[in-house]
Structure formats: C-alpha cells, structure tokens
A = this chain, B = another copy of it.
Amino acid sequence: MHFMQSLKDAWRRNDSLVCVGLDPEPGRLPASIAGDADAIFAFCRDIVDATADLVCAYKPQIAHFAAQRAEDALERLIAHIHDRHPGVPVILDAKRGDIGSTARHYASEAFDRYKADAVTLNPYLGHDSIAPFLERADKGVILLCRTSNPGGKDFQALDCGGEPLYLRVAETIAREWNGNGNCALVTGATWPEELGKVRAVVGDMPLLVPGIGAQGGDLEAALRHGLTAAGDGLMISSSRAILYASGTSDFAQAARKATDELRQAVNRHRG
C-alpha cells in the first residue's frame, strides 16, 4: 500500500488527523513496566494497541531507541503495528540526510530494515541526498521545512531573495522533488502563520505538524492556517502529552483518552 493512500484512508476511517509520536524515555516509563527486560517495546506496544483506531499514523523517533541500543525493539514495534493494525502507516522519525551514495544506505535502513512507510528527512544537502528516497514511490518522504523548535528561526527564517528559506525549501520540493507525489513537509504548530504560508505554496501536500502540547503550539491557529479545503491534509503530532498522560499502570488507557481528546479537539475545528 502506498503511504499517501494509507494516510488518506486512515484520516477517513478513523476520522482522525492525530499522529502519535512514539518517543520512549527510559526515565519516564511507568513502574509497572520499567522492570521488564523488554520495557521499551512493551510500553510502545501497549500505547499502540490502545490507540490504533484513533490515529492516522504512528511516528517512532529513532534516537530514543538508538540511545538505548534498542534497534531490535524498534523493528519489532513496527512489525507489530503492520501486523495488528494494518492500514495505519508508520513514519520513522529519523531526519536523515547525506550525499547520494550514503543516502541509499539510509533509505535501506528506513524502508528495508525497519519497513517504515515514510521517513522524515533533512533537506539541507539538496536533491541528490533525497533522490534514493523519492524514487521509492510507495514510500512517504517527509522533509523538514519550518521546524517547531526555538532554533528553527536561526536559518529557516533567513531572507533568501525576498522570501524566507523555509518557503524556498517548500517551493523547491513542491515543484521539483514531488514527481512521484510522495512528498510531505514538517511545519511546526508553533509558527501557525508560517504554516499557512507553506500551505499556500504546496497545495494539498500533507503537512506533519509537531509542536502541540509540550512545545506550546496553538492548535486552533495551526488548523486554521493548515487545513486543506477538504478539511484534512495534516498529521497533528503529539508525543509526550499522550505517552506520559499517566505515569502509572493505567498509562495505555490514559494515552487513549489523551489521544481521543486531541482527536476531538482537532475535529471541532474541521467543520
């Protein structure tokens, strides 16, 4: 199944624009699970199993696994999602970027090893660094555009011939890199007006929107500026507010409740 089709199907089937970020923090796992030798996997699996009918995608963040030598848990987690919740696409949040010959290995890491449906990438190295991903037409290629963090402005907001760098990035990707129709962009909820400027130049291209919750982004403004005419086009990403909604043994049910509250809050603005 193509990532873009899976995403659209999941938007509709689950009536949800919510993407749950799977960022396991060893120090924040509930006591009921922290002693498990396979705690990272068990924690994420339980979150997934409690929320799969409420989301449009999952987004495991690879550094949270790599810092713990838990690549194997990440492989099994993605296999679990594909097996038990087919139709919910998995975005590997890796933000890779390297010259073409090395980019092929990163594409293999994301798509062949981990079997992700999409991957986040950094566009700073230009087209040949992304080409090995773009040519996998069934896979999603989600490029950093205007990121949600405070430092996002340091270079992304620089004026490049009358418009900010992030808009040049958005235009280049929409016009030149999206021949297979498999591109999407990362645009933070912390900059809703800039999100709207991106929307204006990329048409209906999906936007992955982090920054709600712990980072303080304005959900209503992000939706107002980012929704397409069809009332979708967004993956509203939330990680910590869902994963750590409860620090005790009811974490999975608390995660379900937090996911559904976000889903409904989003849907109230979709009209």
Inter-chain contact A168/B158, CB cutoff 8 Å: yes
Contact residues of A: prevailing secondary structure: helix
Neighbouring B residues of A125 by C-beta, 8 Å: 122, 144, 147, 149, 151-152
The reply to whether A102 and B23 form a contact with Cβ atoms under 8 Å apart is yes
Tell me how many residues of A have a C-beta within 8 Å of chain B: 54
Contact of A99 among B100, B103, B112, B149 (CB under 8 A): B149
**In chain B, what residue has the closest Cβ to A162?**
B159
30 pairs from A and B in contact (CB 8 Å cutoff): A61-B98, A61-B102, A63-B102, A63-B105, A95-B96, A97-B97, A97-B122, A99-B147, A99-B148, A99-B215, A101-B214, A122-B124, A124-B144, A124-B147, A125-B147, A125-B149, A125-B151, A126-B147, A126-B150, A126-B151, A126-B154, A127-B151, A127-B154, A128-B149, A128-B150, A128-B151, A155-B168, A155-B169, A158-B168, A160-B165
Chain A residues packing against B (C-beta within 8 Å)? 23, 61, 63-64, 66-67, 69, 71, 95-103, 105-106, 108-109, 112-113, 122-130, 144, 147-156, 158-161, 165, 168-169, 172, 210, 214-215
